[in-house]
Chains A and B, each alone.
Chain A
């Protein structure tokens, strides 16, 4: 049943367009910042180009490796990720930056083990659930062991600390478990107390509380806790319909700290306006649609779960990032996939796209949105 098929064209197209936009926008957003800090306005452009190329190569290589073979080594990857996460939290090994120990300094670049963990966990969950999805209906026998694994990973991430990644990994894991058949009631039973606990956690820490309050009204302290949100809003608002024009952002003049990173979307909105923001969001919608389509057409459950996991990883990152820059969520360190500047993270995003492309090549390709509803109806009748 191994038919060599084509890549999913639209997925590949979207990734390439987003990458191209990313390179352009990183250059536009970072040039002044780079000139200010490195005396070289091409500093980030060169690196972004380099990582994009390396990433693309990586993506094409991986797209040619059968995902099932990759899945088999996922327990090993998982173990490596856990070891690296523990190592990075040890002072002296992990590099500290902004009060968090998340990076290995490799000299020529930095490497975040959490990036590897995201992918490892998705693969491991898919690999494991493909065999054990039937048990998921049971709480203790099925769901809890997986939640414990996720919880353990979260714990390691909290040591760094890296809250946003913990939240992201948890959400992605929940999506995978949900799609694999876990009961909604079980999620509620765990989710509601967890959210309550999280609320307590926010209130208990002055720092987190401040961040949260700043999110509610960034203009209360525009020079302090609300600074990033306020300047992001200024940038977006300045864009209007068609934007100031490429390269003409004013907020990138150090008003937005590290404008090439997490807040790059606001620079896009400022320079390219609503039209630009709309384009980026539509590109992501396209990507997510193709991703979900691939997952629905995957030849087996493992491929399907891996595809939905990778897709939701990109989707959730995108949603949280845009929510943060539009002051819809509190400020947290979440890059915009493909577009934000990021060395190794770019590598991992493209690697995961490679996996997705490989799954699409193995796709049974029978999904059609119109026919899909009929299919669902029939499936429901079959269940009943």
Chain B
């Protein structure tokens, strides 16, 4: 108040004091200016000076507008750009979640490794742009990292703030780099950051389920791909505000956004069962020279959990692009070549249990039987006739020429009689039959949590569009349409578990790195397909298939295995041996705990051996036995088992005894004998075949020597191929050899090649096989 008042007074005073004289003066001056040119024109001077004030003021206002424009209109855009130049960011990779089997055994693990990176701009400035020092550093680093110094120099000379030098090296090597760079050289702009590297401790175990990852830890196949978002976690970052040379600014705190580790995934897979399954198909692939590989699935029928899923040929996810064994190309480039990559996806990466489809053949008869029984068109005791069946100009024959004639339905299943199944399918009728087909989950994705399963449409296209009677007839015994192994395995689960179609599952649980459960997957019933009663009936019939019918080669004494063989000739390839043989089984038959499906594609064996009953059944039987034993399912020996089981005994040591003593001892062991040399009772035994402590079947013959030696008592191994058990036993006995019988039927394999010289009394393993055409 006071000051403003004073100001007013002051300005008033100014006005009164100087207004009048200046006015007069200026007017006077102006007048004079016109007369005398040298006199200034004060009016114009002030006008023009005032004009300049306006010009400057407007210009400065325009500058203010420019500042505002840059800050408010362009602000965000420029700030973003500024942020990128002012900030240096280093990513910290999260630890990818572990993939465990159902029992918590690690199948895919991320190991801690180190990654070496550099801020080239800052590094050069740190070394004062001395090329000599830079070169020295590059050479030192290259030596530790086993790289070319030229390549390291190239990285150092990039105009950049972040470059990798080498990624994912051992921690030990990382420590050496740290020691060299930080301790020895005192360099600040080379970073050794923790990183993680995926590895698969069991090599090819469950390779198709697990898949594999790329250099950035991204999932590229299998569960790694399907659950990539779950497994990968959130990358963290180290952010620094840096000066133009990339050196952190002192007041800016290093912003550290911690990486969030990925979630762990627990599969339904059992590592051990997976191992058995993989071994089984690998062995089958070798034995039968499978031209197109093999697939196998083991499921828990009560929950739909996949316990094992294998495909052959397989790969090692630690080195997914390694050259497959069947490739000869010496210039194999792996992922670096488009052709090689394509080949890998077509062969070893293919998960045949889910990605591939095939004609199921007779294994599908279980579904036909289930439909027929459920619909009541047949009972196990119904009498049916197996003879060539004519329909729409086609004749359908049984695999046995002329058919099996009159039999009950149970035996028609045992014998896998095609004409009978044609009749039953027709009796169910087109509409109802295909309803069962869909109810069992065919023509639709199973929804297994893994990539590569065909779509619903792709599945439908593998079936007849508008089925006629003839189509239905051949469908009844499993031909002229295709399904995927996972579909059939799921359908068998429904048959085995009392009639519920379960959604097959591969993932049991997702939990965070502290073990807290994030998500738990419960078994899911898709629908009730058949009644408990029908399920029970089929279980009994299919058990009979293994104990008495075409599945006999899958028989395992002590375990009640039920199953069905399958053989189909595929029209997909023209090549020789275009067969797919398979076996679908579950066990134990009265209370199923596992379903096993085995599919062997294109076996290259003698023509008469190409059937599921001969090739697939024994493999499946052995696999079931291994799994059941592992699951500690107790064996329940039937009377027949007891009878067939020949006990083994350990050969006693006879050397030094008298002949009479030796004979007495052998009798006590249930063994027969032949004495070579002196037969005198008190003669001393000098040698024996088999030697002491050998395990041999009871009733075998032990050769005891009082004179001479086993080396001088050799016989050649006979050829037993295609001999029956009795014939083979007689042949061996005549030669003085012992036989250990495995299986029944015809001799398929013998331990030694024909002609091999053997000591008399030696025990030879001989494998027998029932010759079954389906």
Contact = CB atoms under 8 A, between A and B. Distances in A.
B30 A379 contact: yes
Interface stretch (B34-42, B452-460, B549-557): B34-42
B243 A304 contact: no
A236 B15 contact: no
A308 B49 contact: yes
Given A269-B71, A382-B27, A133 B53 contact: no
Q: Which of B36, B64, B70, B77 has the most CB of A within 10 A?
A: B70
Interface stretch (B18-26, B574-582, B719-727): B18-26
Given A296-B49, A304-B45, A285 B11 contact: no
Contact of A181 (B19, B40, B66): B40
B63 A322 contact: yes
Contacts of B67: 236, 269, 274, 277-278, 281, 322, 326
Given A292-B52, A379-B26, A234 B78 contact: yes
B49 A134 contact: no
Contact of B49 (A179, A239, A241, A366): A179
Interface string B48-60: 1110110011011
A178 interface: yes
Given A255-B244, A274-B67, A295-B49, A237 B37 contact: no
A131 interface: yes
Contacts of B43: 376, 379-380, 382-383
B2 interface: no
A322 B739 CA distance: 107
A379 B33 CA distance: 13
A175 B38 contact: no
B53 A238 contact: no
A180 interface: yes
A248 interface: yes
B45 A274 contact: no
A253 B63 contact: no
A137 interface: yes
Nearest to B58: A319
Contacts of B42: 301, 304, 379
A233 interface: yes
Contacts of A274: 67-68, 71-72
A364 B71 contact: no
B52 A237 contact: no
Interface stretch (A103-111, A196-204, A367-375): A367-375
Contact of B52 (A234, A285, A312): A312
Q: Which of B30, B37, B52 has the most CB of A within 10 A?
A: B52
A42 interface: no
Contact of A376 (B31, B40, B47, B59): B47
Given A236-B71, A368-B11, A289 B63 contact: no
Given A289-B53, A301-B45, A312-B52, A364 B245 contact: no
A315 interface: yes
A301 B70 contact: no
Contacts of B56: 285, 288, 292, 312, 315-316, 319
A305 to B, nearest CB: 8
Given A277-B64, A379-B26, A134 B38 contact: yes
Contacts of B47: 376, 379
- Size class of the contact patch on chain B: 35 or more
Contact of B45 (A180, A237, A285, A289): A180
Interface in A243-302: 248, 250-251, 253-255, 269, 273-274, 277-278, 281, 284-285, 288-289, 292, 295-296, 301
B556 to A, nearest CB: 76
Interface residues of A, number: 70
Nearest to B73: A237
Contact of B85 (A255, A278, A285): A255
Given A179-B49, A240-B75, A371-B15, A255 B38 contact: no
Contacts of B114: none
Q: What DSSP secondary structure best describes chain B's contact surface? A: helix
Contacts of B39: 133-134
Nearest to B53: A292
A194 interface: no
A133 B40 contact: yes
Nearest to B249: A253
B46 interface: yes
A271 to B, nearest CB: 13
A250 B36 CA distance: 62
A237 B70 contact: yes
Contacts of A40: none
Contacts of B11: 368
Q: Which of B27, B62, B244 has the most CB of A within 10 A?
A: B244
Contact of B86 (A236, A250, A382): A250
Given A250-B86, A274-B68, A326-B67, A133 B78 contact: no
A318 interface: yes
B161 to A, nearest CB: 13
Contacts of B82: 234-235, 237-238, 250-251
A253 B245 CA distance: 9
A216 B70 CA distance: 15
A135 interface: yes
A326 B59 CA distance: 13
B530 to A, nearest CB: 72
Contacts of B23: 375, 378
B37 A328 contact: no
A152 to B, nearest CB: 24
B30 A372 contact: no
A179 B52 contact: yes
Contacts of B18: 364-366
Contacts of B63: 281, 319, 322-323, 326, 328
A134 B37 CA distance: 4
Given A281-B63, A376-B50, A134 B36 contact: yes
Given A181-B41, A234-B78, A255 B86 contact: yes
A312 B49 CA distance: 10
Nearest to B25: A364
Q: Which of B38, B49, B74 has the most CB of A within 10 A?
A: B49
A253 B49 contact: no
Nearest to B243: A253
A278 B71 CA distance: 12
Contacts of A319: 56, 59-60, 63
A105 B85 CA distance: 37
Nearest to B42: A301
Nearest to B31: A382
A308 B53 CA distance: 9
A32 interface: yes
Given A234-B81, A284-B60, A364 B22 contact: yes
A134 B75 CA distance: 52
A236 to B, nearest CB: 5
B44 interface: yes
A132 B38 contact: yes
B71 A239 contact: yes
Contacts of A285: 56-57, 60
Interface string A195-219: 0000000000000000000000000
A181 B43 CA distance: 10
Q: Which of A180, A237, A239, A305 has the most CB of B within 10 A?
A: A237
Interface of A: 32, 130-135, 137, 175, 178-181, 233-241, 248, 250-251, 253-255, 269, 273-274, 277-278, 281, 284-285, 288-289, 292, 295-296, 301, 304-305, 308, 311-312, 315-316, 318-319, 322-323, 326-328, 364-368, 371-372, 375-376, 378-380, 382-383
The 5 closest A-B pairs by CB, nearest first: A379-B43, A134-B37, A237-B78, A253-B243, A234-B82
19 contacts: A32-B249, A133-B41, A179-B48, A233-B70, A234-B86, A235-B82, A238-B78, A250-B86, A253-B241, A254-B243, A255-B86, A304-B49, A315-B56, A322-B66, A364-B22, A379-B47, A382-B27, A382-B31, A383-B30
Given A255-B244, A281-B64, 6 more contacts: A137-B37, A180-B45, A254-B244, A269-B71, A289-B53, A296-B46
